[in-house]
Structure 1
Amino acid sequence: MNNKLLNDLVVSVKKQNLNVLNVVVRQDGDIIAKHDFEEEKPTLLWSVSKTFTSMAVGIAISEGYFKINDYVIDFFPDIQHVGMNEYLKKMTIHDLLCMGTGHIECPVMKADWSEGKSWDICQLFVDEPIVFEPGTHFTYNNSATYMLSKIISLTTGVNLDEYLDKKIFQHLDIPRPKWDTCPKGIPQGFSGLYLTAEQLSRFGQLILDKGVWKDKQLIPSNYIEQATSVQIETSDFNPYFATADHHQGYGYQIWMNSYLNSYRMDGSYGQYVVMLPDKNAVITYVSNEPQNMIGVLELTWDTLIDKL
């Protein structure tokens, strides 16, 4: 362990008053540095959860449960399609994965999360107007990831959390983690997963290594290559916090970084797994930073990248 590697990062965290909880640095497959600002514990990973859902989809495709170009609507024959248009009929699994559904807004924004309320994201999804041809426009869309979670349940016969436990978590020696569900009992997919920073770093290593863990291929390598490549442009994605790291394109529930040939898992409040193939490194952050989330990611570029 070379925790001196993180000295500048620790200083920068304190100087910026960033609420980073844990940092884990892996290189060449091993943890080379680690710093806990607070004791490590399972923490809600927010949208980092999306990448786990994506990898479950990749495994399910390889096992023949469905294909990446299957039409989404075919999985939901009983749902009421209010004003269904040709765009909805053309939407595929690929479009869900890269958030190219054609919606202009995320349908989950209309969900009522009040206690005791029962609502269906699937219905919100099909009721939301689709204004762009699927695959042509990026809109950050939690419901797209939920639909993938639901499709996993419908096709494999088990929910996303159970499927991932069998296919990934058991192999990584991670006890079955908690995963929050929606009112219908389906794991959210777009959020809801709880892991420690060190556990999360193992998953980052698995992706960096193209799905191989202890000489066993857990996720198809060709799927990871697609997932970590630009599938849709994000140059028009401009929330108030957007930086160059939001405009490099989006893969399958994975963001591309401004640092060449690198990509990341990305969640609210400063949850990141930054994968750097050229450095053979994985940097994992678990945070609770509500004001300057991107500042956590930029610790990588400002304090670490040149030392690896």
Structure 2
Amino acid sequence: MKKIHSLARTSPEEQGVSSDAVLAFLQAAEREKLGLHGFMLLRHGAVIAEGWWEPYASHRPHMLFSLTKSFTSTAVGFGVDEGLLSVDDSVVSFFPEAVPDKVDGRLAAMRVKDLLTMSVGHAKPIMGSEWRQTSGDWAGYFLEKPMDHEPGTKFMYNSGATYMLSAIMQRVTGQRLLDYLRPRLFAPLGIEAAAWDTCPSGVNTGGWGLSLTTEDLARFGLLYLQRGVWNGKRILSEQWIDEATSRQIDSGDKGQSDSQMGYGYQFWRGRHGTYRADGAFGQFCIVMPEQKAVIAIYGGLQKMQAVLDLLWTHLLPDMRRDTLPKDDVGHRRLADKLKSLQLANKNGTAKSAESAASIASINGLRYQMEENADHVSEIAFNFDDNGCTFTLTDHRGEHAVRCGIGAWVEGSTSMTGNELHHQYQPARMKVAACGVWEDESTFAMMWCFAETPFIDRVICLFSGSAVSLKRSVNVNSTAMERPEIYGTAVIGEER
């Protein structure tokens, strides 16, 4: 899709921000090993800094996780603007066929607004990992959940609430959320949204499932900063912007972290008058109305508050009202840094004499693996002058990853990974992989699933005819490594 409204690019100083402040933020993020993958900073509608940590790149979409929720909220906003529904409508009124025989008075009282503000009355949320294991009618599953509180009284983050918003919008529009938003949001902003996960009934999941580029996120934030106006044309009402991004309910125990500043309609309030859409493992779209700024970030990190702390420490104080004097030296330092960003460790050294001997001893062999929890039956290594093709066979079939030696090689793979990847298991994934011999008996690979936050590290240790394999990941909602597995070479076969 052609970007119908190109974002301007200027130096930070032209928009009242010093290049040194942006550089300090980037250096601090790397020093604290936060795991950023992409970064874009806008001020007064212009991009003043942007960069991606190789092999992540500007053109790649990245999983949004719960940041998707703010797009679902925006769809509801369009529906309200068009008179299709009201935030005061009863939730059960949209699902007469799925309402339990005995309707709890609290369920009958639940409104669309309670879904938007994550205050549906459940003591325990329904999160994406639970939904993905639920077959059949998700709306009925939600409506049958016991009610513990009066709706609208207690905040409880709940992906089930966002799914119900998507289901309601499909009821009132006759379209999936993705199709409904294309002409209203995505096309006007020049965003190419190719797909959105669906439930077994064909309803977009609502609370997760979108993948977009960093600039797509920046455009979305800019629409909200501009209070619903894009390229001089209003596409979303100012009233909805105000309601969605204002504090509608308390989100914590009045602490000082950004997650305790209140919650709107699927948007988080933050410190310093900010608000944001965010998703697991460091996906951010941050709007700073007082500073006329938008920050879009993709990452693979566990410490989401740490990123916000660095933004408030390094960037917020440096946002001046007036332009700053030209700073060619500082701007060049920043530009050089942005062009040289890469993941902290890509195992990057070339093949050594010792590794050449190791390659000769294992090249082309198949290793039969002992029984293991991941159902891996065989692995194999095939080296050539340009890298290595690693092959693994398990209960799903045969999977290959092509690695460069000390350099990234891009491709795609069907490699099993759900246990390390927040229970996500697409049929195929984009992957950039590299490997290195750490010593004569240890071959280490990094598999960067470059449209996700997940980066796997795979350590293969050889001893005679035996091999062990240990696989870990940078981020996950559960365990971050799998049990080590062991195997023995199949000797005597042709290579």
TM over 0.5: yes
Q: CA deviation at 1:110?
A: 7.9
1:39-188 correspondence to structure 2 within 5 Å:
39-40=57-58, 41-81=60-100, 83-108=102-127, 111=130, 113-114=132-133, 118-188=135-205
Q: 1:150 to 1:296 in 2, by over 3 A?
A: same
CA contact (8 A) 2:137 2:201 kept: yes
Unaligned runs of 5+ in 2: 1-10, 13-18, 320-495
SS at 1:134 equivalent: coil
In our comparison, the structure showing a higher alpha carbon Rg is 2
Greater length-normalized contact order (CA 8 Å, ≥ 6 residues apart): 1
Q: 1:26 to 1:142 in 2, by over 3 A?
A: same
Q: Which moved more, 1:54-63 or 1:81-90?
A: 81-90
Q: Which residue number in structure 1 is paired with residue 421 of structure 2?
A: none
**Equivalent in 271, 281, 284 of residue 283 of structure 2:** 271
CA contact (8 A) 1:108 1:124 kept: no
**Equivalent in 289, 297, 300 of residue 308 of structure 2:** 297
Bigger share in helix: 1
CA distance in 1 between partners of 2:175 and 2:187 (Å)? 16
Q: Which residue number in structure 1 is paired with residue 49 of structure 2?
A: 33
CA contact (8 A) 1:25 1:31 kept: yes
CA RMSD of aligned residues (A): 1.8
Q: CA deviation at 1:119?
A: 3.0
Note the alpha carbon deviations across 1:224-261, whole angstroms, 9 max, x for none: 10111111111249xxxx862111110000011022x2
CA distance in 1 between partners of 2:193 and 2:131 (Å)? 29
Q: CA deviation at 1:299?
A: 2.4
Give the structure-2-normalised TM-score: 0.58
SS at 1:78 equivalent: helix
Q: Does 1:247 align with 2:260?
A: yes
Q: Which residue number in structure 2 is paired with residue 284 of structure 1?
A: 296
Give the structure-1-normalised TM-score: 0.92
Q: Does 1:258 align with 2:271?
A: yes
* 2:288 maps to amino acid: L
SS at 1:34 equivalent: strand
Overall identity of the aligned pairs, in %: 36
SS at 1:168 equivalent: helix
CA contact (8 A) 1:270 1:294 kept: no
Q: CA deviation at 1:306?
A: 1.1
CA distance in 1 between partners of 2:102 and 2:83 (Å)? 32
SS at 2:113 equivalent: helix
Q: CA deviation at 1:215?
A: 1.3
Q: CA deviation at 1:183?
A: 2.2
CA distance in 2 between partners of 1:180 and 1:110 (Å)? 13
Unaligned runs of 5+ in 1: none
**Equivalent in 242, 245, 259 of residue 228 of structure 1:** 245
CA contact (8 A) 2:193 2:210 kept: no
Q: Which residue number in structure 2 is paired with residue 15 of structure 1?
A: 31
CA contact (8 A) 1:107 1:121 kept: no
Q: Which moved more, 1:37-46 or 1:133-142?
A: 37-46
Note the alpha carbon deviations across 1:42-65, whole angstroms, 9 max, x for none: 011011110110011011011111
Q: CA deviation at 1:30?
A: 1.0
Number of residues paired by the alignment? 300
Note the alpha carbon deviations across 1:100-131, whole angstroms, 9 max, x for none: 111111134783635xx623321221121111
